[in-house]
Amino acid sequence: MVRTLDARTSLGSNGVAPFNVPLVPNTPTLVGIVGLNIVNPGLVIRTQFNGTYRISVADLSSQPSSIRFEIFRGSTHTGTPIYVVSQPIFPSEGSILASFDGSDFNVPPPPTGQLIYSCFVTFVPASPSEQASRVGPECFNAVVYSDD
């Protein structure tokens, strides 16, 4: 039988009031973090996560740029990488709404009882003049399960 251990959401913006936070090119930026409580797990622990982020872009060149999302087990960009996905941004787009779903299977029980996942976004421009900003909505969700 599967048991839900915990579920958390990191909500950066609900999208109602855009906050327009610039992204430094080629630099991973923390945009979501969740700490899941793991109490008396079964033998197999697994996590399912998803996220949605709106990114505004300006001064795009004729070549597509990209947005990369990286999920790490841990609170830093040097933690255990779990998931990486990139989405192209084409010159005709003024903004993109990027979403992803992923999972982490056979997770070792954390010694502290808290399993942390962090979401980083990196703007990868095709030329130095390109700019990107976080405008919202922004959310990162995770649910952890175990088998009894």
Shortest CA distance to 99 belongs to which of 18, 32, 28, 41? Answer: 32
Neighbours of 127 (CB within 10 A): 12
**Both tokens assigned to 78:** 């040097």
Share of the chain above pLDDT 70, in %: 100
Flag whether the pTM goes above 0.85.
yes
Amino acid at 24: V
**Number of domains the chain is built from:** 1
Can you give the residue range of the structural domain that contains 65? 2-147
Kindly report, residue by residue over 70-127, the tens digit of the pLDDT. 999 999 998 889 999 999 998 888 889 999 999 999 999 999 999 999 999 999 999 9
- Convert 12-59 into a string of H (helix), E (strand) and C (coil): EECCCCCCCEEECCCCCEEEEEEEEECCCCCCCEEEEEEEEEEEEEEC
CATH code assigned at 39: 2.60.120.660
